[in-house]
């Protein structure tokens, strides 16, 4: 039986998060489920919201969105799971039935407000709750929830709800189209996504995998994951390190993006996982045009990618646990959210 109230971690302002007592969610229609979060990995974005690098209006709003947990209650139309099942909760809210969802474009569900997600109420203007809470409501349970195979840990499952899947999709389709090609991953502020991309590129049979960054810790991690490392501090006119058919920009730095685009080979593909600025000068459009490269920038279609990543993890080809660096109890999330470590996981007691 769910209590009437619960604890929820809220973003208040940069550097300040607080636990608040709030009303617990309830089943409001037959398609919903209530999930108790058991493991919540810190998205790269969470760090920069919490420390103020990415500006957000002052809260409060619920925080945390990479969620694995256990189903505690379901509506009478839910068939995908039952109470007691352990599940991944995709961070984006998606209905599963609109045109975009049916096409696999689950980051653009048209039956909810644009950019709807857990832990990011300011993006959509709708408060969906957050992973760092006693319970969350899953509004489209049959479309959203994915059972966790017994062989996978809860922290791994939580990472797959967003960042691990994000890293995977940046290289999976390019390598499907061009098997065995070399890959350059431009690392930086999207720190775990870049490392998940390294791991996926190696697992999916890339030729040589190169990883550039200015941070020694991430460079060491990338090398351990199988990449050849390039210690680089990104600057506007820095020389490239060659031309690569497949490039990933995980720098979230304008100069990093320019380096990534200039490093993309003729007819190659560069995928950006974040926007390094609301607007940017000096994008090398002329050379991009002459080389005929494809540049894609998008949020991950989380629900559409999860099962592919789960399969790779179950097969042992992907080991998201090797990117997770620190395990922390839920109760300490307020104090350590701004720790610069690469990938934190918060675990319920």
Domain residue ranges in the chain = 5-162+300-347, 167-297
Mean pLDDT of the chain: 95
**Cβ atoms of residues 95 and 156 within 8 Å:** no
pLDDT category at 2 given cuts 50, 70, 90 is confident
Of the listed ranges 133-137, 194-198, 285-289, the least confidently predicted one is 285-289
How far apart CA 340 and CA 321 sit, in angstroms, is: 18
How far apart CA 198 and CA 202 sit, in angstroms, is: 6
Residue 323 reports pLDDT greater than 90:
yes
CA 157 to chain centre: 12
Residue 40 DSSP symbol: E
Domain 167-297 has CATH 3.40.50.720: yes
pLDDT category at 24 given cuts 50, 70, 90 is very high
Instruction: Classify domain 5-162+300-347 at the CATH class level.
Output: alpha beta
pLDDT recorded at residue 349: 81
Q: What is the mean pLDDT of residues 114-137?
A: 96
How far apart CA 51 and CA 56 sit, in angstroms, is: 10
> Which pair of structure tokens corresponds to residue 315?
């097969």
pLDDT recorded at residue 21: 96
CA neighbor of 293 nearest in space, from 164, 184, 151: 184
pLDDT tens by residue, 80-109: 999 999 999 999 999 999 999 999 999 999
How far apart CA 98 and CA 24 sit, in angstroms, is: 28
Within the chain, strands assigned E span: 5-13, 16-23, 33-41, 61-62, 66-74, 86-89, 136-138, 146-147, 183-186, 209-213, 228-231, 244-249, 264-272, 294-297, 326-329, 344-347
Q: What is the mean pLDDT of residues 272-294?
A: 86
pLDDT tens by residue, 226-258: 999 999 999 988 999 999 999 999 999 999 999
pLDDT recorded at residue 281: 75
Residue 280 reports pLDDT greater than 80:
no
pLDDT tens by residue, 188-227: 999 999 999 999 999 999 999 999 999 999 999 999 999 9
Q: What is the mean pLDDT of residues 273-293?
A: 85
- In degrees rounded to 5, what are phi and psi of residue 286? -60, -50
- In degrees rounded to 5, what are phi and psi of residue 117? -160, 160
Residue 278 reports pLDDT greater than 70:
no
State the pTM of this model.
0.95
How far is CA 89 from each of CA 35, 186, 330, rounded to the nearest angstrom? 9, 29, 17
Residue 1 reports pLDDT greater than 70:
no
């Amino acid at each position: 039986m769910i209590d009437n109230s619960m604890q929820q971690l809220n973003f208040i302002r940069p550097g300040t998060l607080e636990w608040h007592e709030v009303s617990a969610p309830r089943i409001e229609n037959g398609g919903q489920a209530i999930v108790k979060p058991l493991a919540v990995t810190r998205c790269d974005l969470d760090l920069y919201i919490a420390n103020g690098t990415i500006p957000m209006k002052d809260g409060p709003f619920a925080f945390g969105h990479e969620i694995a947990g256990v189903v505690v209650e379901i509506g009478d139309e839910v068939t995908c799971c039952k109470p007691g099942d352990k599940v991944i909760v995709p961070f984006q809210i998606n209905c599963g039935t609109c045109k975009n969802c049916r096409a696999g474009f689950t980051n653009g569900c048209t039956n909810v407000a644009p950019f709807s997600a857990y832990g990011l109420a300011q993006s959509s203007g709708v408060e969906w709750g957050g992973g760092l809470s006693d319970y969350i409501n899953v509004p489209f349970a049959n479309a959203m929830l994915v059972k966790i195979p017994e062989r996978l840990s809860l922290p791994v499952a939580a990472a797959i709800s967003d960042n691990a899947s994000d890293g995977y999709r940046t290289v999976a389709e390019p390598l499907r189209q061009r098997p065995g090609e070399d890959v350059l991953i431009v690392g930086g502020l999207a720190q775990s996504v870049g490392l998940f991309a390294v791991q996926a590129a190696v697992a999916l049979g890339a030729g040589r995998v190169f990883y550039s960054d200015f941070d020694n810790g991430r460079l060491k991690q990338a090398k351990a994951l199988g990449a050849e490392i390039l210690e680089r501090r990104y600057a506007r006119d820095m020389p490239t390190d060659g031309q690569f058919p497949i490039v990933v920009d995980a720098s979230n730095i304008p100069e990093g993006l320019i380096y990534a685009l200039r490093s993309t080979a003729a007819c190659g593909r560069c995928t950006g996982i974040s926007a390094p600025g609301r607007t940017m000068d000096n994008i090398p459009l002329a050379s991009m045009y002459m080389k005929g490269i494809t540049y894609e920038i998008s949020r991950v279609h989380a629900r559409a990618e999860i099962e592919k990543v789960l399969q790779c993890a179950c097969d042992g080809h992907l080991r998201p646990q090797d990117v997770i660096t620190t395990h922390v109890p839920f109760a300490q999330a307020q104090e350590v959210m701004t720790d610069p470590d690469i990938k934190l996981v918060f675990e319920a007691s």
